[in-house]
Structure 1
Amino acid sequence: MTPPAAVERSFWLWIAAVVVNLVGSLVSLVTTPPVSALSSIVGLVVGVLFLAIVVFLALRLRQGDGWARLTLAVLGGLSAVITVLGLLAGAGLGVGFSALSTVVGFVQAALIVAAILFSFQAPANAYFR
């Protein structure tokens, strides 16, 4: 069965969120002072493993697996909320995030929220039944 447009959009939004995260992480790694480069590399490796799981789940979502949709909704929702709250709290505490980190965080959160919303539209719900 071919996935409906809402599921396809959700899939591609998940992929876009992964790409945005990877690009932001790579730019951050390149621009990080050498003193903290090791911790950045470890963070990047852990991040890539997490993003690989997200891609796997997005592929399963596209194939109609409801458990993947639910897992992405929970993990993605938590990730979006924690990212936005972290950026807002950091700004309130005077923590200076780079403009790139801020933009990447908000763009990724927006992509994730949109992906979740598309995956729960009426045509998608019928597909997962």
Structure 2
Amino acid sequence: MPYRAPVTTPAPPTPVERSFRLWIAAVVVGVLGSALSFATMPAAPGATAAAGTIVGAIIGLLFLGAIVYCALRLRRGENWARIALTVLGGISAVFTVLGVLLTAGLGVNLGLLSTTVSLLQAALIVAAILFSFQAPANAYFR
């Protein structure tokens, strides 16, 4: 059997690498923010509320896992991952900012730390999306 050299993907350009790192940072901030929320959350008044909290946590972890998977694929130059991250991240960032504004407008106090973590995560996502569409990144995905 003839020897076949392994197929190697070229190293991602700097904007793609930055985008990848920002996606991972956004996931880390999301996990820390969720842990903070659980740690400071008042005791749930019943089994139904506790089950809802657990289901919400599982869905959140699955979402963050999907983000990590797509970020890894983005780093390898797979354009579908860049598009998926743009759509999911864009929706997440918009709803985060709208949620913060809406709760503030309704007079609901989420706490300074929780609000800061949410806005930091949204900013990381927006920056990651912008880096993934810079000219060197566009060439890498072609």
Question: What is the TM-score when the length of structure 2 is the normalising length?
Answer: 0.87
2:59 to 40, 46, 50: 46
Structure 1 counterpart of 2:13 = 4
Shift of 1:91: 0.3
Counterparts in 2 of 1:47-126, with a 5 A limit? 47-126=60-139
**Structure 1: distance between partners of 2:116 and 2:139:** 35
**Structure 1: distance between partners of 2:55 and 2:115:** 21
**3-state DSSP of counterpart to 1:34:** coil
In structure 1, the gaps of 5 or more residues are: none
Give the structure with higher Rg (CA).
2
1:69-115 residue CA offsets vs partner (Å, 9 max, x unmatched): 00100110111011001100110111111222201110000000000
Shift of 1:42: 2.4
The amino acid across from 2:127 in the alignment is A
**Structure 1: distance between partners of 2:53 and 2:27:** 18
**Structure 2: distance between partners of 1:100 and 1:46:** 23
Question: What is the TM-score when the length of structure 1 is the normalising length?
Answer: 0.96
| Correspondence 1:34 to 2:43 | yes
Which of 88-97 and 106-115 deviates more?
Answer: 88-97
**3-state DSSP of counterpart to 1:33:** coil
**Structure 1: distance between partners of 2:122 and 2:53:** 21
Once the two structures are aligned, what percentage of the paired residues are identical? Answer: 64
Q: CA RMSD in A?
A: 1.1
1:29·1:41 contact (CA, 8 Å) conserved in 2? Answer: no
Q: How many residues align?
A: 129
